[in-house]
Amino acid sequence: GAVVSQHPSWVICKSGTSVKIECRSLDFQATTMFWYRQFPKQSLMLMATSNEGSKATYEQGVEKDKFLINHASLTLSTLTVTSAHPEDSSFYICSAFPSRGSHEQYFGPGTRLTVT
């Protein structure tokens, strides 16, 4: 079945530093991937849509200069949180479609980011 992986599964960084999170589709190619953020006891909120070979599309209120997205290949998208602050601490989850004909998104296991 469609498998999406993320790395790292958790990361702790100091305030002001940057951290990169990888999202990979393991058994399919994905021209589009999505990045979501989930705060404790909250649901998933879409941050941005990552498109292979082109610029990402960000949701309203999400700073594109702070959350850098690169979709360098059909199986890899990266999210870099730049100059991280404690309020960026959250659970970041990516998703992808296994095929164009299907609207089913499959999610990665998530990355827990803690900024101290």
Residues found near other proteins in the complex (CB under 8 A): 4, 6, 32, 34, 42-46, 49, 91, 93, 95, 97, 103-110, 112
Provide, rounded to whole angstroms, the least separation between the CB of residue 83 and other proteins. Answer: 26
Of 10 and 16, nearer to other proteins (C-beta) is 10
Provide, rounded to whole angstroms, the least separation between the CB of residue 81 and other proteins. Answer: 18
DSSP 46-110: EEEEEETTS--EEPTT--TTTEEEEEEETTEEEEEE-S--GGG-EEEEEEE-S-TT----EE---
Provide, rounded to whole angstroms, the least separation between the CB of residue 64 and other proteins. Answer: 16
